[in-house]
Amino acid sequence: MDQPVTEKTIRQFVEEVQGQDHAMAGAVIAASAAQATALGQACLQISRVHQGHALSPAGVAPLIEQLANIKSSLVDWCDRDAVAIAEFVALREAGDELRGQQLLCDAPAEVSRLCLSAANILQDFRPVVSERVADDLELGITLLAGAAQAAMLLVDSNLRLWPEKALIDKYEPIRAELARQIRQLSPVARLRD
């Protein structure tokens, strides 16, 4: 890879994903989650502008900052995951396959955690969101819930591929906790009554 995937256009990124000899599921999930977080961040910023009298800057600004940090972390994880297979192969060839496997489990687990954090911020913001972006906020929550689920399933997939006791002992409790937290999210089923 000549440049990080997040520095490519969306078209270039999509082409890179489809052109690889390995699936870039983790990078795709992280990129999707970063986009969903950006949508949520926009909803908070728009709400602050359009409901300035009702929302204290001291209350909204830290949430916008938290979402910005989550978004930045997700972009970083996208770039890291895009090269993770090469790192895994290098570690395996160096005789440290377990460390490579852990790398490929740590990344989606952290992406799922970040999605959950962003989705919870957006859910907590529901009561004060501007009506003009209320539906968009719900779409962001739904996208983040889906990305959290997909990332958790990627951890599960890796445990299926590598059923070593050390990995199962470390990551099955993480997977189970992520699944529990995902079930606690409350994306809406409909936007119209």
185: left (phi over 0), alpha (psi -120 to 50) or beta: beta
Residue 54 near residue 129, CB atoms below 8 Å: no
The whole-angstrom separation of Cα 56 and Cα 40 is 18
pLDDT score for 19: 92
Confirm whether 118 is domain-assigned: yes
The whole-angstrom separation of Cα 67 and Cα 40 is 8
Confirm whether 166 is domain-assigned: yes
Mean pLDDT over the full length of the chain:
93
Confirm whether 75 is domain-assigned: yes
pLDDT score for 48: 86
Confirm whether 189 is domain-assigned: no
Report the domain count for the chain: 1
pLDDT score for 183: 98
Confirm whether 100 is domain-assigned: yes
Confirm whether 58 is domain-assigned: yes
Phi, psi of 185, rounded to the nearest 5 degrees: -70, 155
For 1, what's the count of Cα atoms within 13 Å in the CB-facing half-sphere?
23
pLDDT score for 1: 47
- Which single residue is written with the structure tokens 């992280």? 30
Confirm whether 190 is domain-assigned: no
The whole-angstrom separation of Cα 41 and Cα 38 is 5
Residue 107: give its domain's CATH number.
Answer: 1.20.120.680
Question: For the chain, which ranges sit under pLDDT 70?
Answer: 1, 51-57
Domain extent, residue 122, equals: 5-183
pLDDT score for 105: 96
Confirm whether 120 is domain-assigned: yes
Q: In the chain, what percentage of residues exceed pLDDT 70?
A: 95
pLDDT tens per residue, range 135-173: 999 999 999 999 999 999 999 999 999 999 999 999 999
The whole-angstrom separation of Cα 61 and Cα 78 is 26
